[in-house]
Structure 1
Amino acid sequence: MFSLSSSSINTLFHENRITERTPSATSCSFYKPHFQAVAQSSKSVNKLGALPSSSQTVAVHHNPSIIETENNTKKVDPKFVLTGNFAPVDEMPPTQCLVIQGELPQSLNGAYIRNGPNPQHQPLGPHHLFEGDGMLHSIRLSGGQAIFCSRYVKTYKYNLERKAGVPLIPNFLSGFYGLTDLFRGTIIILARAINGQINLAEGFGVANTSLAFFFDSLFAMVETDLPYAIRVTQEGDIETIGRYNFAGQVFANMTAHPKIDAKTGELFAFRCFPVFPYLTFFRFDTNGLKEQDVPIFSMKGPTYVHDFAITERYAVFPDTQLEMDTMNMLTCKGMPLRSQSAKMPRIGIIPRCATSDSEMRWFEVPGFNGFHIINVWEEEDDSIIIIAPNVLISENLFQSMDKLHFSLEKLRIDMKTGMASRTILSKTSLELGSINAAYAGKKNRFAYMAMGEHIPKMSGVVKIDLELECEVSKRTYEDGCFGGEAFFVARDAGDPDCDEDDGYVVSYVHNEITKESRFVVMDAKSPTLEIVAAVKLPGRVPYGFHGLFVSENDLKKL
């Protein structure tokens, strides 16, 4: 193992020239995405990264970082969505990595895996960042050594389109602009189903959002489909086992952020839908048996609910101003979402074991649009505390992500009086955060948040003291360096006497100047979030979404 001296342990991305290793340098097999230019009859086609011009020549490209599309509206403009470190990469077989800064902690044994979009084919039309095929980027850690691997989640959609060599399933988030587009897309899907080309019952999800570990299994998740079971091999490779329908108990879709009660082993989840009932809550017992659905009839409109939380007794849901709206597609307004600025945001609290919506209580929280929830707990005075980033302008969540700004807040819901209060914890725009998982649903003190001044590129990490209600540690990446979710890993998850912040914050960080990606490990206790180790990765890791650290003990269960 190669490491630098202690004097350089906190220097990040200082090299001027780095020769990148490509997948072709290994002897292992891998699948490379294939992209072709699509001929346009009368409209010019812009290359990614090129400025529009009055006359352009359409060329055929086989580089997966070059994708062309016809509709370049801002929210689906490929010049933003699929260029630079947003561009897709090839699969990477398990490859040994160099620790080029510090040393990997001996206690860090397991695999950090991060999910994200990586389209395998050229989109035939507009493309939103959220629509790419799911790719998992894993770094397996053992004894101070690291093995990196990138693999697609082999979803039904992925396998179908890989065999066909072209996209078959339209992009529902960005692909329809008017009734004609929607009608054509529907007819194409139905015709292919009738001809036996596709099976509608298999779902068309891309499994690109998050990962979850429950029932001694690892899953890649997306909220528009069911989970896909995943396995990480001893050699560090990633295998897709298949789509998981909970023994036929769930037929449609579920949240990408299910919650597991570590004490009881119960699993809690929900699904939201653009038609009534808009929200349905459900749970599974310790044996994996699903309890009856609880439709939330008191959800007044088709709110887009991305995340929720559980406490010892309750489940907590945000009812924000962002709603699903299929009429947008019919009226040529693009994405099937709308922001209802006149709507009063609410927080819904329902007993975990509720059997009907009659047990749901709603609390108005003016100005609060929370889409990710960091933690929730119950206080002794019968109040509920919610830690969550507030999206200050909700229409920017999908429409103009580069304009997103978040306010990390602590909400207090008084269950006796019905009153709600908000406290701003930081003036920095913070999102994609985590806590020590042992404190999920319980009172905790620290949160680790990614700085999002350049959403969805994150420029650093901040540690928040939830008791003092302020920032206590901060690390900003060097110029040109951007990371993703700040994920906390406990030093010893099995030791109840360890301090809550005794552990590490990990993230993939990409240097846009050197074109190099690294895995960075920071000391969560350090007042500067000191860098403990940096691992040079053999391939680029595109910006993505949520990750998970799976311990060695849990990997053995897969």
Structure 2
Amino acid sequence: MKANRVNHVEPTIAPNEHPYMNGAWTPNYDEWDATDMEVIGEIPSDIDGVYVRNTENPVHEPIGRYHPFEGDGMIHAISFRDGKAEYRNRFVRTQAFMAEQEAGHSLWAGLMEHPRRSIRPGWGAHGNLKDASSTDVIVHAGKILSTFYQCGDGYRLDPYTLEQFGMESWTPLDGISAHPKLDERTGELLFFNYGKYEPFMHYGVVGPDNAVKHYIPVEIPGPRLPHDIAFSENYTILNDLPVFWDPELLKQDIHAARFYPDIPSRFGILPRYGDPSSIKWFEAAPTYVLHWLNAWEDGDEVVLDGYFQENPVPGKYEGAPPELERMMAFLDQFLLQPKLHRWRFNLKTGETREERLDDEILEFGTINQRIAGRRNRYCYSAVPKKGWFLFTGVAKHDFDTGRSWALDLGPERYGSEPAFAPRVGATNEDDGYLVTFVTDMIEDRSECVLIDASDIEAGPVCRIMLPHRISSGTHATWAHGEDIRAAAARDAA
């Protein structure tokens, strides 16, 4: 292995027993470049692109109770071409990260503290939070875009070198939520944000040239907590779900999420470039959905797949450290019980139909993004660990036959959100690789694993040893090498 530690960020965190600062969630403070890494098996020559993952790595002692979603963002990227791989990782140099580096301590209190405990004004729908840019990651117009889940500034990085270009220039005043969606067919990025002031939501479209083409207000009844959106070829699907901050407590600037089972879920469907008057709202069974899988059009219907939570606000987590019971409950998928679910919205009649697709507890799903917005046959979901925000394997579903398969990563081995990398020259939907980073707690190391998506039960095609054990985190994505190079050529021209 050729590995070079290019930088070290010195933490100020005292030794502790916080469950999401230790174990598989132990933060990283070193930034590496690595090539010629040890490989078990052989890196295929027909994979071309970059797998990118975002993680939370708190640098400074928190103000009050720490929630893992507020840790400082760190991007991990491994690129593939011609049977070779290169790995890099970097902290995202957000305005908040740089301010705390200069101060030498935390400046913002977190999700579980009152906003008044923050030393400086902050960001986000919550208000006064640190803009950690540690939640989501996507590649658009040839650059990485990292985002924070409660709306912050987007940050751009080079997908190969992780060179940083600072804040996204088109970021609206209300920020960008996690989970902007890329339509690979058109090169357009669909994004949204939300907040505590009317109209409470906005929606926009950014073109393949990285310029905003469309931005509209979306009126909803009050402050809501949407986390994701979906799109089909012609429509965008927004949501207004009955899990949101208690309105009475919000008057005291206390942000306590409640589930209101007597309020239906609402879905707003509009043409991609539609104005506010074009939104059609549909009602469905009350729930919360963290992540959507895909959407497509079927005659007069828009079909939407996602992970329906049967228990959106699970209460306390038994056995958690004091004052962390609620936080750990919201991170335990076995308490939330998300399951693959399908909604059908009839644009002519206004009718909604729903069906359960699987009774297993699954989340963080992906598909072959080349067909996003059109009907997919296959999906790949992360299998969660009971009691923890960790993933122990991958499940594959074939919606045509109803069959499913699963791959367990092994004892004390935890994967990241998988991404689908099409094989170079692929013609079939599942002709490609699932890519994931795996942290092995027994061997005290991390590796990148490639799995044949057409036969996941066969296990890894290859395992690439990384120069350090990386922290668990949230989201990941795959970007095609040909798309990145095409965007670079457009920029150069």
Give the TM-score normalised by structure 2: 0.87
CA offset at residue 328 of structure 1?
4.3
In structure 2, distance between residues paired with 1:348 and 1:460: 33
Partner of 1:548: 477
Partner of 2:125: none
Q: Does residue 302 in structure 1 map to residue 223 in structure 2?
A: yes
CA offset at residue 387 of structure 1?
1.1
Q: 1:89 aligns with which of 8, 24, 28?
A: 28
Counterpart residue identity of residue 179, structure 2: H
* Superposed CA offset, 1:296-354 (max 9, x none): 22x2232211111111221112222221357647769x644332233211222112121
In structure 2, distance between residues paired with 1:393 and 1:209: 23
In structure 1, distance between residues paired with 2:401 and 2:55: 34
Counterpart residue identity of residue 451, structure 1: V
In structure 2, distance between residues paired with 1:266 and 1:507: 25
Partner of 1:537: 466
Alignment of 1:88-107 (within 5 A): 88-96=27-35, 98-107=37-46
Q: Does residue 512 in structure 1 map to residue 441 in structure 2?
A: yes
* Contact 1:446–1:500, Cα closer than 8 Å, also in 2: yes
Q: 2:268 aligns with which of 342, 348, 370?
A: 348
In structure 2, distance between residues paired with 1:254 and 1:98: 36
In structure 1, distance between residues paired with 2:215 and 2:484: 31
Instruction: Please say which structure displays the higher CA radius of gyration.
Output: 1
In structure 1, distance between residues paired with 2:159 and 2:216: 35
Partner of 2:282: 363
Q: 1:480 aligns with which of 412, 430, 434?
A: 412
Counterpart residue identity of residue 283, structure 1: V
Secondary structure of the structure 1 residue equivalent to 2:292 = coil
Partner of 1:195: none
Q: Does residue 439 in structure 1 map to residue 371 in structure 2?
A: yes
* Contact 1:292–1:355, Cα closer than 8 Å, also in 2: no
Secondary structure of the structure 2 residue equivalent to 1:442 = coil
Partner of 1:230: 157
Alignment of 1:147-546 (within 5 A): 147-171=86-110, 173-176=111-114, 182-185=115-118, 188-189=119-120, 204-223=130-149, 224-233=151-160, 237-246=161-170, 250-291=172-213, 293-297=215-219, 299-325=220-246, 328=249, 335-356=255-276, 358-380=277-299, 382-396=300-314, 399=327, 400=329, 401-402=331-332, 403-454=335-386, 455-471=388-404, 473-492=405-424, 495=425, 498-526=427-455, 528-546=457-475
Q: Percent identity?
A: 26
In structure 2, distance between residues paired with 1:328 and 1:118: 30
RMSD (Å) for aligned C-alpha atoms: 2.6
In structure 2, distance between residues paired with 1:271 and 1:241: 22
Partner of 2:321: none
Unaligned runs of 5+ in 2: 123-127, 316-325, 489-493
In structure 1, distance between residues paired with 2:130 and 2:139: 22
Select between 544-553 and 26-35 the one with higher mean Cα deviation.
26-35
CA offset at residue 291 of structure 1?
4.1
Secondary structure of the structure 2 residue equivalent to 1:220 = strand
* Superposed CA offset, 1:211-259 (max 9, x none): 22223322112242121110144xxx4222110122xx72330122222
Instruction: Indicate how the Cα distance of structure 1 residues 351 and 219 shifts in structure 2: closer, same or farther if over 3 A, else same.
Output: same
Instruction: Indicate how the Cα distance of structure 1 residues 476 and 275 shifts in structure 2: closer, same or farther if over 3 A, else same.
Output: same
Secondary structure of the structure 2 residue equivalent to 1:80 = coil
In structure 1, distance between residues paired with 2:207 and 2:481: 25
Unaligned runs of 5+ in 1: 2-24, 38-46, 50-78, 177-181, 193-201
Secondary structure of the structure 2 residue equivalent to 1:374 = strand
Secondary structure of the structure 2 residue equivalent to 1:130 = helix
Instruction: Indicate how the Cα distance of structure 1 residues 490 and 146 shifts in structure 2: closer, same or farther if over 3 A, else same.
Output: same
* Contact 2:313–2:336, Cα closer than 8 Å, also in 1: no
Secondary structure of the structure 2 residue equivalent to 1:348 = strand
Instruction: Indicate how the Cα distance of structure 1 residues 292 and 487 shifts in structure 2: closer, same or farther if over 3 A, else same.
Output: closer
CA offset at residue 140 of structure 1?
2.5
* Contact 2:49–2:81, Cα closer than 8 Å, also in 1: yes
Secondary structure of the structure 1 residue equivalent to 2:435 = strand
Instruction: Indicate how the Cα distance of structure 1 residues 290 and 451 shifts in structure 2: closer, same or farther if over 3 A, else same.
Output: same
- Matched positions, count: 466
* Superposed CA offset, 1:175-215 (max 9, x none): 22xxxxx4453xx326x9xxxxxxxxx99511111222223
* Contact 2:174–2:195, Cα closer than 8 Å, also in 1: no
Instruction: Indicate how the Cα distance of structure 1 residues 396 and 103 shifts in structure 2: closer, same or farther if over 3 A, else same.
Output: farther
Partner of 2:10: 33
Give the TM-score normalised by structure 1: 0.78
Instruction: Indicate how the Cα distance of structure 1 residues 538 and 552 shifts in structure 2: closer, same or farther if over 3 A, else same.
Output: same
In structure 2, distance between residues paired with 1:503 and 1:453: 26
In structure 2, distance between residues paired with 1:409 and 1:479: 29
In structure 2, distance between residues paired with 1:184 and 1:306: 25
Counterpart residue identity of residue 86, structure 2: I
* Superposed CA offset, 1:502-558 (max 9, x none): 001111111222222111110001161531011122211111111122333344445
CA offset at residue 27 of structure 1?
5.3
